[in-house]
Homo-oligomer: A and B are copies of this chain.
Amino acid sequence: MIKGASTIYYGGDYSPDQFDLETIKKDIVSFREAGINMVTLPVFSWTKLEPEEGVYDFGWLDQAMDLFLEAGLKVCMATPTAAQPAWLSHKYPEVLPVDQQGRKRTHGMRVFYCVNSAKYRERAAAIAEAMAKRYCKYPNLAMWHVSNEYGTYCYCDTCRRKFHGWLQRKYQIIENLNEKWNNTFWNKTYTDFAEITVPSETNDEFRFNPTLALEYMRFMTDCTIECFENEARAIRRYCPDMTIQTNISGHIENLDQFKMVKHMDIVSWDNYPKPSSEPGLVAMKHDLMRSLKQGASFMMQEQSPNQQNWQPTSKLKRPGEVRMLSYQALSRGADACLFFQLRQSVSGQEMYHGAVISHADRTDTRTFREVAQLGQELQKIGGLFLDGRTAAKSAIIFDWDSWWALEKASLNCLPYKKMDYLKKVYKFYKVFHKHNIPVDFVAKDADFSQYSLLIAPYLYIVDETVAERLKSFTASGKTLVGTVFTGVCDEQCKAVYGAYPGLLRDVFGLWSEEMDALYEKETNDICFDGDIRFTCSFLCELYHNTTAETLASYGKDFYAGMPVISRNRYGEGTAYYIGTDPEFACLEHLLTEIFEETGIGPYYAAAEGVEITCRQNQTASILFVLNWNKEEAWIDLLEDRYENAVTEEIMTGHVTLKPYDAIVLKKTDER
C-alpha cells in the first residue's frame, strides 16, 4: 500500500527540464482538466541536477515542485540514477559495464552502468541523499522512486571478483563448490575461487554451463538489490516513513522479483503489452505483480497512453483501449495508474512513444480526451477500492530459478532449444482467467497453507525443503499439479540420480524413464478414456506409474499407450502429473475437472471474453467487470446487488455490458 494515499494516483512521468516555464504552466492546467493528481520526476535528469561532481543545481526542480504544489499535484520523486552523467563515465570509466559479448561499453543508452562500480554507487547514494534532504519536507512529495527498470548484467573484472566473494560466502571452500556443482564434468574443477570466470560469450559458459550461469543470475539479482538499497538507505535517512519503490520493467526475467520486492515498500511495474497480447496475458502479469508481495496492492508505474515506440510496429492504442487496460490493472490490485509520459519528448529513442500531450501539443485529441474521461471517473471512484485485496484458493508456483535454468542458463543443454517459460505458465493461468477463477502466484518457499490447489508447472529446481513442503501440502488433503520437468534438479541445477521427478517421485507416484523432444510442429495425442483426444507437443515424458493411476495415455509413436496424465492419491490429498505440454483445450478439460473436485468456482457466470475480478478492502467489496468483446456481453450477478460506482445505477441478475466496456460495481445490501 502507498502510505498516505487516499485515492488512486493518476498521472505519470513528466520532464520539466525538457520544457520551458510557459509550457509547464499550460500543462498543469491540462493535467487538472484530465483529473491527473500525480507526476513522476525527474527520472533522467542527473546531469541537470549535478552538472559537476558534488555540485548540485536544484533550482529548476524547486521551481517545478512549487508549481505542482500550488496546483495540488502530488509528486513521485525519482532518483535520476538510471542514466549516469556523461561526465561521470568520462571521468571514471569504471562505472561503464562490460557486456556479455565481453566488450567494454562506452557511454550511451541508459541503465548501462556496472552495478558493482563503487564510484557509481557513491555518486548514486550522494544524489539520492541530497534530493531526500532537500525535498523530504515538501508537502506534495508522495513517495520515492529509485532509479528505473533495473536489470542490466555486467561482466567486468569488478563483478568477477565480487562474484568470487559471493560464491565464497555461499560455499566457504572451493572443494564444496566443486562438489555441489559436480565440476568433474568436462574438467570444470577449480582449485581457487579466483579461477572462476563469468559466463560470457568469451567462454561460452553462458550457454554451456547451466550451474555457473544460474549462479551468476542469482548474483546479479543480489547486486541489483544492493544498488537499490544503496539509494533507499540514503533516502530513509530523511524520509523514514515514506513509500520507496522502483519500477519493475516488463522484462521481468533478468532479476528474481520475489527477492527484489522484499526491499521495496510496494511493488511497482511498467505495463507495456504488445498490441497483440491477449487480455489474459496482461492479467497474468498484474496477478504476478500482486503476488510478489502476497496480495498487497501495487502500482502500475507506467503504461503508454498510446503507441509504444520500441516495438517492431508501433500500433496506436484503439479507442477505449487505455481505459480497458487501466481498469484491468486497477481490478487486479493496482493503486496507481500512471502513464509514461505526460508530454512527448521531441527527440531521442522515445520521441515517437505515446504521450498524454503529443508533439501536436493540443488537448483536442483522442488520446487526451480518453485520458481525461478516465481521470474524471477515477476522481469519483478512485478511493473506493484502495488497498483492496483479492482472495484466491488456487496458486501457481512461479520460480525465477526454474525460468532461468530452463530458458536461459542452459540454452544449449536441454532437449529443446527454445522455451518460453512465461507462455508455458500462461497456458495454465489462462484456464483460470477464462473461467474467472482467482489465482495467485507463489514462490516455492512461500506459505501454501491458504490454498487448496497448487500448480507447479515446470518447477525444475526443487531442493529438499521445497519437496518436503509440497509433499506435506498434498498429504494434508490438498491438490498438487506437476508437469514434465517438475522436480528434476537441485539448487545447483544438477539432476539427482534416481529418476525424475526426483524428490517428488512419491507424491506423484511414478518414475520417468525417458523424455522425447518433438520437432516444432510435431505433436502426439493425449487419449482419455471414452476417446476424448487432444494433442500435445514440446516434450513427451515416458514414465511408469508406481502408485499413480493413468488418466490419459499417449496415442502415437512407440510409446503409444504409456501414461501421459496421471493421478496419485497421496496421504489425504491428490497429485496430478502431466508428462508433456498439452494443448490448451486439454489443460482446460483437466483443470475444470480438478476445479469441480476441489470445489473451486468462478465469481459469476458470464459470457466468454468477460473478465471479472473482485477487490475487497476494509470498507467495500468491488467487482470489476470488463467486456473485451467487440459485441455486447452478459454477466449473471444472480441475486447479488451492486451499485455501478460511476453511474450509481443499481445492478443485479443478468446484466448486459456494452462492447469493449468496463464497469466497476460496489456490493450493496440496499434493496
Chain A residues with a Cβ under 8 A of chain B: 15, 17-18, 23, 44-48, 51-52, 80, 83-87, 89-90, 101-110, 112, 181-182, 184-192, 194-197, 199-205, 208-211, 306-307, 309-310, 312-316, 318-319, 344-352, 358-362, 365-367, 410, 412-417, 492-500, 511-520, 542, 558
Contacts and interface: CB of A to CB of B under 8 A. Distances in A.
Contacts of A499: 359-362
Given A109-B208, A492-B347, A366 B513 contact: yes
A348 B103 contact: no
A489 to B, nearest CB: 9
Nearest to A101: B103
Given A89-B195, A319-B558, 16 more contacts: A84-B187, A86-B188, A104-B202, A105-B202, A106-B197, A106-B202, A108-B204, A109-B205, A110-B187, A112-B203, A188-B348, A307-B516, A316-B515, A349-B413, A352-B415, A360-B511
B358 A514 contact: yes
Contacts of A316: 514-516, 542
Contacts of A417: 312-313
B86 A196 contact: yes
A318 B319 CA distance: 55
B210 A347 contact: yes
Given A103-B102, A191-B86, A366-B513, A45 B184 contact: yes
Given A185-B44, A185-B350, A210-B347, A195 B90 contact: yes
B349 A47 contact: no
Given A189-B85, A309-B415, A347-B210, A516 B203 contact: no
Nearest to A200: B106
16 contacts: A48-B187, A86-B188, A87-B191, A87-B192, A101-B103, A103-B201, A106-B197, A313-B415, A313-B517, A313-B519, A314-B515, A351-B494, A359-B497, A360-B499, A361-B497, A361-B498
A83 B203 CA distance: 12
Contacts of A520: 313
A503 B196 CA distance: 56
Contacts of A515: 307, 314, 316, 352
Given A86-B188, A109-B208, A366-B513, A416 B494 contact: no
Contact of A47 (B86, B191, B497): B191
B195 A107 contact: yes
Contacts of A110: 186-187
Given A189-B86, A366-B513, A514-B367, A500 B359 contact: yes
Indicate the member of A192, A360, A496 with the most B CB atoms within 10 Å: A360
Q: How many copies does the complex hold?
A: 3
Contacts of A208: 108-109, 348-349
Contacts of A413: 309-310, 348-352
Contacts of A203: 105-109, 112
A298 B502 CA distance: 40
Contact of A187 (B44, B196, B367): B44
Nearest to A367: B514
A195 B318 contact: no
A458 to B, nearest CB: 15
Given A108-B205, A197-B107, A493 B347 contact: yes
A307 B517 contact: yes
Given A191-B51, A348-B209, A185 B15 contact: yes
A182 to B, nearest CB: 4
Given A108-B208, A315-B517, A307 B415 contact: yes
Contacts of A496: 346, 359
A208 B353 CA distance: 13
B185 A345 contact: yes
A634 B194 CA distance: 65
Contacts of A181: 347
A348 B185 contact: yes
A624 B552 CA distance: 42
Given A185-B15, A313-B416, A361-B497, A86 B190 contact: yes
Contacts of A185: 15, 18, 44, 345, 347-348, 350-351
Given A191-B85, A309-B413, A349-B412, A514 B366 contact: yes
Nearest to A107: B197
A560 to B, nearest CB: 12
B210 A351 contact: yes
A548 B585 CA distance: 54
Nearest to A557: B318
Across chains A and B, which 6 residue pairs bring their CB atoms closest together, nearest first?
A108-B203, A314-B415, A86-B195, A185-B348, A83-B187, A360-B499
A52 B190 CA distance: 10
A47 B191 CA distance: 8
Nearest to A518: B313
A536 to B, nearest CB: 15
Contacts of A516: 307, 315-316
A396 to B, nearest CB: 25
Contacts of A204: 108-109, 112
Contact of A209 (B89, B108, B196): B108
Nearest to A519: B313
A191 B86 CA distance: 8
Nearest to A320: B558
A347 B495 contact: yes
A307 B348 CA distance: 43
A346 B309 contact: no
B205 A365 contact: no
Residue picked from A90, A351, A492, most chain B C-beta under 10 Å: A351
Contact of A202 (B103, B182, B497, B500): B103
Contacts of A512: 360
A415 to B, nearest CB: 4
A105 B187 CA distance: 17
A348 B497 CA distance: 15
A361 B499 CA distance: 7
A284 B511 CA distance: 39
